[in-house]
Amino acid sequence: MKFSKMKFSKGLTLFILPVLVYGFSEKGITKVKKASNPLESQNTLIETAPQSLGNTPSTPFVKPSADELKKRLTPEQYSCTQEAGTEKPFQNKYWNHKEDGIYVDLISGEPLFSSLDKYDSGSGWPSFTKPLDQDSLIFKKDFLIGYERTEVKTKSADSHLGHVFSDGPKEAGGKRYCMNSASLDFVPLEQLNKKGLGKYLFLFAAKKKWEVAILAGGCFWGVEELFREKKGVIETQTGYTGGKSGHPLYTQVKTGTTGHAEAVRILFDPQSISYEDLLIYFFKLHDPTTPNRQGNDVGTQYRSSIFFADDQQKATAEKVKARVEKSGAWKKPVVTEIIKAETFWPAEDYHQKYLQKNPAGYTCHFLRPLQF
C-alpha cells in the first residue's frame, strides 16, 4: 500500500494512507473520529492542530473592595470577616448544622472544612478538628481580649474565620477550630460536583458506603471521560500511582522514568454498579494487550494496571482478567497488572476533566463491542 509522510512541528508526523490518517506524538493530536470498525483502527481523521499542554491556571481570586463587600454582606458578616468580629454563640447558622458537605470561605468560595470533621464542642460556634488544607489558612497571634489566642484567616480572601485552640478531641489531633458561621458558606454533598468541588466526594466514601477503584489504561484523559459517563460512577479524578517518588508532576511522569502510571481514581456506588462490572467496562475501553503502550502513547506510564484496595478487589480483578483471557475477544495475551494500590497522587488541575474542558482534545480510547 502506498503512502506519503509529512512532518510537522513538535514531533507530529502524519502517515497518509488511502483510507486512514494516523497522528503520532506525545498526546499531541486532538480528539479523533472513530473508524467504522473500531477494532481495526483507533484514529481515522485528525480534526484540529496540536494543543499546548501547559498548565493554564484558573483566574486568581480578586478580593472586592471594602465598599463592595459592605453592599454584598450583612453587617454581621462584614464585621466577622473584615473586622475580626465574633458572632453570638448558639445564635448562628452553623453551630448545630449536621448536613453532609463542605464549608467554604464566604467571600472567595475556597473550600475550608468538611462536615466529617465537625463536632459539637459545646461552645455554641461551629467547631472542626482540622481544615481540609492547612496551607490555605493564615495563623496569627492576637491579644484582643487580654490573653493570647491564635487567629485563623484565609489566604485567598484574608477573611477572619475565628480561632484555633488546643482543647479539641485528643483522638482527632487535639485541635478545635472555632469558626464564625458568618464567615462561612456551605455546599451540600449533592451540589459539590456542580460547584466544581467534586474531588471532595471521595472523603465521604466510607460514610456513604461508596467504593473506590484505581485503574490505569493509557492516557488518563480518555479513560476518565469514559468512566465519567458510566452509570453508577459518582466522581473521577486523574492522577499518578505505582511509582518511586512522592508528589510527582506530569513533567516528571511523562519521561517514563518515575515508575508511575497515569491512572484514574473512580468513586462509584456499588448499589448501582459492581466492581466486577466496572472492570469489564475497563477491558472494553482500552487495549490490555499492549505492554507499556496505548494507542499512540508509548511508555511505562501508559501501562495497563488494576490497583486493588483489598483482598476482595484483588480476587475480583483476577477473576475478570481470567474471564477476559478465556473469552478470546482480545487476540493477544492480556498483560494487565494486578497490584496492591499505593498512594494516589492527584494530577494537576488542568488534567482533571480534561475532555470536558477541551471537547476536541486528544484521546485514543473508545468502547469496543466485545463480549467476555
Non-local (6+) Cβ contacts of 345 within 8 A are: 239, 240, 241, 246, 247, 248, 260
CB neighbours of residue 336 within 10 Å = 24
- Grid cell listed for 97: 448544622
Active site residues: 178, 219
CB neighbours of residue 219 within 10 Å = 25
* Rg (the chain; Cα; Å): 25
CB neighbours of residue 181 within 10 Å = 23
Query: What CA–CA distance (Å, rounded) separates 262 from 21?
Result: 26
- Grid cell listed for 128: 472542626
DSSP single-letter state for residue 114: E
- Grid cell listed for 362: 486528544
- Grid cell listed for 49: 492542530
Cβ atoms of 368 and 238 closer than 8 Å: no
